[in-house]
Structure 1
Amino acid sequence: MKVLRASDYKRMPWKNGGGETVEITVFPPNASVSDFDWRISMATVASDGPFSIFPGIDRTLSILDGNGMSLAIDGAAPVLLTRHSQPRSFAADVAVDATLPEGTITDLNVMTRRESFTHQVERASGSFSVSKQSDTETIIVLATGSVPMKSSQDSVVLEALDAVWIDDTIAIEARNIVCYVIRVNPL
């Protein structure tokens, strides 16, 4: 397993200039916001407004901190996402307007290029294990607090907002901490 420490994440402005994103990891390595195949990032959202448009991209959003964000996706009725909601998937190339009914939030954003990759994001806690389902699958687990993880060859403790890139099977003891299991697969 490869540990990705929050202190090492790359910070950059949003594509629309409205804030800052914290890039956890991107593929291919060192890809920009216009040419990635897949990307995992976090952002602090402090004001209402439109999302950046990413042509040909699918996106899944989860709320990590704060009291929620309401999303109006492609003109549909707004949907409220909270820290307790399941991750919400939608196309990143349609109009999305966000409102913050109770102030600033931090979100987890997973994006894949629709023609090349798919992804799934699962919210998990308690004792669980995660295994690769194929040699081509990429699995990354993000912890929202201190969480011990153990594979057949190694063990590590992730701190808040650290992540781990999994090579085989890993056991996780996330008692009262939420983790996000991100699976990325080529088409």
Structure 2
Amino acid sequence: MRIIRAADCRRMPWKNGGGETLEIAISPEGAGLDDFDWRLSMARVEAEGPFSLFAGVDRTLAILEGEGLVLTVGRRKPVRLTDRSAPFSFPADEATSSSLIAGPITDLNMMTRRGKVVHSMRRLTVTGVFDVASTARELLLFCRSGNFCVEAAGDQILGPHDTLHMRAVPAILRLRASRPADLFLIEIMAAAAAE
């Protein structure tokens, strides 16, 4: 188990060179953009345009800050995403473009290598004592706003944009927050073909 502080994330250019991203965590450690099993990152989007393509990768995106964007994936109907929307999943190897609703946004991106691992991402609002049940192989808890602590992590406090990464996931993970904390829970499982 480890806590990844926002200040310790690695800043790097987008694959297509159109901006910058903060890499929060990647597996295996030290992997590059073409050979990771999974990757969690945060990006600032300041202009509309195409997304980077990642062959054989599935992606989930959530809006953290800003008014949001309209995402067009392949020939599908455009999807409007705001900071109140549920995380949106799509194939990262389909041509995808975005247009900003009203100014720059910051988003959270989770990507997994198809056929190796799969992931799910959901938003949680934690107040008081909150138990999370999980059967995941690995788990990431990203703090969007507020502060929370995890009993299994010795009650260390996580603040905005801090992330907890667990490889040995207990059946029940107990969280505590004295005031409402907005989190994203990302669960990572082996793909059926990889089991």
* TM-score for both structures, normalised by structure 1: 0.93
1:153 is displaced (CA, Å) by 5.9
1:174 is displaced (CA, Å) by 7.2
Quick one: distance in 2 between partners of 1:172 and 1:76?
40
What does residue range 102-181 of structure 1 map to in structure 2 within 5 Å?
102-127=102-127, 128-133=130-135, 137-152=137-152, 154-166=154-166, 167=168, 168=170, 169-173=173-177, 175-181=179-185
Aligned-pair identity in percent equals 39
Q: Does 1:32 align with 2:36?
A: no
* TM-score for both structures, normalised by structure 2: 0.90
Distance 1:133 1:103, change over 3 A: same
- Can you list the C-alpha shifts for 1:110-142, whole angstroms capped at 9, x where unaligned? 0000110000001010332224415xx111100
1:185 is matched with 189
Quick one: distance in 1 between partners of 2:84 and 2:178?
15
How many aligned residue pairs are there? 185
Quick one: distance in 2 between partners of 1:174 and 1:123?
18
For the Cα contact (< 8 Å) 1:125–1:175, is it kept in 2? no
1:147 is displaced (CA, Å) by 1.5
Q: Which consecutive unaligned segments of at least 5 residues does structure 2 have?
A: none
Q: Which consecutive unaligned segments of at least 5 residues does structure 1 have?
A: none
- Can you list the C-alpha shifts for 1:160-185, whole angstroms capped at 9, x where unaligned? 10011134323232743310000011
1:53 is matched with 53
- Runs (4 or more) in structure 1 with deviation over 6 Å come to none
Task: Please state whether the residue corresponding to 1:93 is helix, strand or coil.
Answer: coil
Quick one: distance in 1 between partners of 2:91 and 2:153?
38
The code of the aligned residue for 1:172 comes to: R
1:152 is displaced (CA, Å) by 4.3
